[in-house]
Structure 1
Amino acid sequence: MTYQEERLLFNQKTQCTVVYHDGKIKETDANVFQWKVGTSIYDAHPFFEILKSFIEVLEKEETTYNFPCIHLEDGKIEKICDITIKINTQEVVILLFDYSSKYHELNKIAQQKNESILKSKKLELKNEYLLEKEKFKNSFISNINHEIRTPLTGILGFIEVLEKTNLNFEQEELARIIKRQSLHLNALIEDMVDIAKIESGKIKIVEERFLFVNLVEGFKETYAKLAEDKGIQFETYIDHNIQEYLIGDRTRVFQILNNILNNAFKFTEEGKVSLSVTKNYQRTNKLSISFKIEDTGLGIQAENLENIFERFTRFNEDKQISGTGLGLAIVKDLVDLLSGEIKVTSKPEHGTTFDIKLPFKFEITKSSPEKKKKKYSLPESKKKFRVLLVEDEEATQFLIMKILITHGSFFVDVAINGEEAISYLERRNYDLVLMDLKLSKVDGYQATHMIRNNYGDKVISEVPIIGFTAKSTQIERDKCLKSGMDDFIAKPFEQEDLIYKIVKQIAKKAAS
């Protein structure tokens, strides 16, 4: 484009109009608006009424006024202009600069920017809402976890006590049903807690050295009896080329395989379930292991396979088969956390196959025997050992008293909170304290801290303390030990575990 063309294009965007003091147009080039000579500028647009006040106050020979971004209309013509007005004693010069396209572009940019800010603010508010929602959900699950586990501990504990009494066949069957349903409820709570942990990123992968073959043999022992009861076969195979000791998260691997095996047995009424473990590949000190779990059960329809790992998904309508719809969702999340792979194939009425590949590490060292659970026995004494139970739930109080008194080696006193527990300790010597963590007034942590730090009498300050809680996490265990407790046990617990831990702490104290 030449200079003359550019100038012509610019001239089309400007208009110069000369007006007498009475408002009549003296001359105009009419490039922007088609104003006519002899007509009044006041009729062109109301904006120009402002000229009257400017003319009245004119004091100098010439005064200039600038007005940016003025919206002018004349019939069907609409323009956004910058206006310069020059007034002298003889006339008024009006200069219009048509910047409509530029202002429209700027307005579009400003609008986009505003929309972007609004979207950003909306996203920020949404994130705040989701965080609050997540916080509420985790708090809710945590509270429900504690509130359900406490009565569940009593139910399972008393069922265990009941099973050891003389029951007729009908009573035994009723006890089994109560126990089965209680264990199902406990599994549901575990699944809910696991999902919440995974979502909040609280599950940490722990790499530890463990005896791999024992993991597989453990499943063989656990499910052999179930297979016998159902009249089906359970086959296991482990590749002998896999190293004896591996490094990985044994707990999560167990959880993955146990969930899938549990499903396989649940949906298989005849035929067999098999677990096959083979080495996929090995490079330096890393290897990949394939786990294949096959069953001859009900199978899954092809259209449902793609949704099988979604939460609360169940494709079998048989109400006799219990399930939470969370197990496979947890499996998928854990496999992803371990950087593994999982695939599933199935044929209705013929069975289902899960293929899982998980990475492990190993170190080239001589194998060492697996560490066995050390045996402890109570020290010889003519008197029974006195235990202080600090617990505010009546059912749990009665359960633990029943377990310890039935054992025959213990007296039991009960305190309902930490404050009362300290009062008991000041009046009587105890061989051990069982301390619930969630108590009114003074909780278990505070009471333990006071016992350990506020007394010069070692009989009080060094009394063995076992904490028990509904939260069976490593974090909770560490918190118990850091507060000064000697051990902890999670609700619901097995009677044998409780007795073992009590005997262990009393024996260790006697030997110190």
Structure 2
Amino acid sequence: MTYQEEKLLFNQKTQCTIVQYDGTIKETDSNIFKWKVGASIYDVHPFFEIIKGFIEVFEKEETFYNFPCIHLEEKKLDKICDVTIKINTEEVVILLFDYSTKYYELNKIAQQKNESILKAKELELKNQYLIDKEKFKNSFIANINHEIRTPLTGILGFIEVLEKTNLNFEQEELARIIKRQSIHLNSLIEDMVDISKIESGKIKIVDERFLFINLVEGFEETYAKLAKERGIEFETHIDPNIQEYLIGDRTRVFQILNNILNNAFKFTEEGKVSLSVTKNYQRTNKLSVSFKIEDTGLGIQEENLNNIFDRFTRFNEDKQVSGTGLGLAIVKDLVDLLNGEIKVTSEPDKGTTFDIKLPFKFDVTKSTPEKKKKKYTLPETKKKFRVLVVEDEEATQFLLMKILISHGSFFVDVAINGQEAINYLERRNYDLVLMDLKLSKVDGYQATHMIRNNYGDKVISEVPIIGFTAKATEAERDKCLRSGMDDFIAKPFEQEDLLYKIVKQIAKKAAS
């Protein structure tokens, strides 16, 4: 573009108008607006009324006034202009520069920027909402988990006590029903907690060396009894070529197989359930194992197979089968976490087959026998051992007292919070403390810290303490041990486990 063309382009965006003191337009070009000579500038646009004030204060020296981005219209013409007004002794000069195109471009950019900021803020708020929602859900599940486990501990505990009394046939059956339904309720809680952990990424895969045959034989033993009760067959086949010891997450593998076997028995009224375990392939120290679980149960409609692993999905609603619809969703999530595969085939009224492939590792070191649970016995003494139960739930207090007193080797005192427990310890010597973690005033962690650190008397500071809580997690167990407790037991518990841990700690203390 030539200099003249550039100049012409620039000139088209400017307009110069000379106005007399009375407002009459003396001279003007028409590059922007078609103003006429002889017309009043005050009639052109209300903005120019401002000139009257400038004239009134004019003091004989040439003065300039600049106004950016003034919105001026003339009929259908609409412009954004920078306006410069020059006052001298003879006239008023008005210079306009058409800034419309640039203004709208900048305005569009600013608008886009504002929209971008708003969208980013909206996304941030949505993300924060999802985070808060997830925190609330996890907190809610954790609290519900704790609140339900506490009364469940009492129900299952008293059922165990009741089963050891003289019951007639009808009473035994009622006790079995209550126990079965309580165990089922506990499994539903476990499902909710597992789903919450999976969603929040809190489930960690832990590789450990374990005796593989024991895992499968455990299913044989457990489900053979159930098959006998249901009047169906249970068959198992284990490939003898699979190594005795494998490396993998034994807990998650057990969970996967147990969920599917439980489902198979739930929906099989006659016929059989079978578990087949075979070696898929082996490369160096890596091994793929196939698990096939087949049943002759109700089966699944073809249109429902694609949704079988969805959460809260339940089929065969008319068959009165209990469950949350979370079991298979958990299975699928765990298989994915283990980098495995799972497939399902089914035919209505003929049965269902689950095929699972899971990767393991193995080593060629010499097999070592599994460690057996060490036996402990109470020290020989003519006196009974004194146990302090620190628990604020009345039903759990009574249950623990019943279990320990029935054993015949224990006296029992009960404190309802940490501070009261410390008062008891200061007045009387105890052989062991059962410390609930969630207490009013002073909780179990605080009480344990005070016992371990605030007393020079070793009878108090070194008393064995077993943590007692409804939060059945490894993190909770580790927290208990770090706080100074000697062991940990989760609610609901089995009486044998509780007594084993109590005897173990008293025996270890006596031997130290």
Taking structure 2 as the reference length, what is the TM-score of the superposition?
A: 0.93
Helix, strand or coil at the partner of 2:84: strand
In structure 2, give the amino acid aligned to 1:230.
R
d(CA) in 1 for partners of 2:303, 2:396: 48
Alignment-derived partner of residue 501 in structure 2: 501
- Cα RMSD of the aligned pairs, angstroms, is 2.2
Alignment-derived partner of residue 428 in structure 1: 428
Per-residue CA deviation, residues 227-262 of structure 1 (Å, 9 max, x unaligned), is: 222222223333333332222221122112211221
d(CA) in 1 for partners of 2:27, 2:276: 99
Per-residue CA deviation, residues 4-61 of structure 1 (Å, 9 max, x unaligned), is: 5554444333323232222222233322222222222221111111222223333355
Quick one: structure 1 residues 62 and 480, their matched pair in 2 at CA, closer, same or farther if it must change by over 3 Å? same
In structure 2, give the amino acid aligned to 1:216.
V
d(CA) in 1 for partners of 2:9, 2:272: 88
d(CA) in 2 for partners of 1:345, 1:18: 92
Alignment-derived partner of residue 323 in structure 1: 323
- 1:407 matched to 2:413: no
In structure 2, give the amino acid aligned to 1:167.
L
Alignment-derived partner of residue 335 in structure 2: 335
d(CA) in 2 for partners of 1:5, 1:332: 73
d(CA) in 1 for partners of 2:94, 2:364: 93
d(CA) in 2 for partners of 1:25, 1:282: 99
In structure 2, give the amino acid aligned to 1:312.
F
Alignment-derived partner of residue 398 in structure 2: 398
Alignment-derived partner of residue 268 in structure 1: 268
Does 81-90 or 167-176 show the bigger shift? 81-90
Alignment-derived partner of residue 29 in structure 1: 29
Alignment-derived partner of residue 205 in structure 2: 205
Quick one: structure 1 residues 73 and 414, their matched pair in 2 at CA, closer, same or farther if it must change by over 3 Å? same
d(CA) in 2 for partners of 1:40, 1:343: 88
Alignment-derived partner of residue 373 in structure 2: 373
Alignment-derived partner of residue 511 in structure 1: 511
d(CA) in 2 for partners of 1:38, 1:279: 104
Quick one: structure 1 residues 88 and 240, their matched pair in 2 at CA, closer, same or farther if it must change by over 3 Å? farther
d(CA) in 1 for partners of 2:90, 2:113: 47
Helix, strand or coil at the partner of 1:21: coil
Quick one: structure 1 residues 467 and 6, their matched pair in 2 at CA, closer, same or farther if it must change by over 3 Å? same
In structure 1, give the amino acid aligned to 2:510.
A
In structure 2, give the amino acid aligned to 1:25.
I
Alignment-derived partner of residue 222 in structure 2: 222
Alignment-derived partner of residue 136 in structure 2: 136
Alignment-derived partner of residue 463 in structure 2: 463
d(CA) in 1 for partners of 2:444, 2:227: 43
d(CA) in 2 for partners of 1:395, 1:279: 50
Q: Which runs of 5+ in 2 are unaligned?
A: none
Alignment-derived partner of residue 178 in structure 2: 178
Helix, strand or coil at the partner of 2:67: strand
Quick one: structure 1 residues 55 and 303, their matched pair in 2 at CA, closer, same or farther if it must change by over 3 Å? farther
Does 203-212 or 365-374 show the bigger shift? 203-212
Quick one: structure 1 residues 252 and 79, their matched pair in 2 at CA, closer, same or farther if it must change by over 3 Å? same
Does 292-301 or 279-288 show the bigger shift? 279-288
Equivalences for residues 185-334 of structure 1 within 5 A:
185-318=185-318, 320-334=320-334
Quick one: structure 1 residues 74 and 177, their matched pair in 2 at CA, closer, same or farther if it must change by over 3 Å? same
Quick one: structure 1 residues 484 and 67, their matched pair in 2 at CA, closer, same or farther if it must change by over 3 Å? same
Quick one: structure 1 residues 236 and 33, their matched pair in 2 at CA, closer, same or farther if it must change by over 3 Å? farther
Does 445-454 or 141-150 show the bigger shift? 445-454
d(CA) in 2 for partners of 1:26, 1:241: 110
Taking structure 1 as the reference length, what is the TM-score of the superposition?
A: 0.93
d(CA) in 2 for partners of 1:252, 1:501: 25
Quick one: structure 1 residues 61 and 454, their matched pair in 2 at CA, closer, same or farther if it must change by over 3 Å? closer
Alignment-derived partner of residue 449 in structure 1: 449
Helix, strand or coil at the partner of 2:475: helix
Per-residue CA deviation, residues 427-463 of structure 1 (Å, 9 max, x unaligned), is: 3332222221122222222222222233333333222
Question: What is the CA distance between 1:155 and its match in structure 2?
Answer: 0.5
In structure 1, give the amino acid aligned to 2:214.
N
Helix, strand or coil at the partner of 1:343: strand
Helix, strand or coil at the partner of 1:22: coil
d(CA) in 2 for partners of 1:237, 1:8: 95
Question: What is the CA distance between 1:186 and its match in structure 2?
Answer: 0.9
Helix, strand or coil at the partner of 2:228: helix
Quick one: structure 1 residues 88 and 346, their matched pair in 2 at CA, closer, same or farther if it must change by over 3 Å? farther
Q: Which runs of 5+ in 1 are unaligned?
A: none
Does 59-68 or 408-417 show the bigger shift? 59-68
Alignment-derived partner of residue 75 in structure 1: 75
Identity of aligned residues (%): 88
Alignment-derived partner of residue 159 in structure 1: 159
Helix, strand or coil at the partner of 1:318: helix
In structure 1, give the amino acid aligned to 2:135.
K
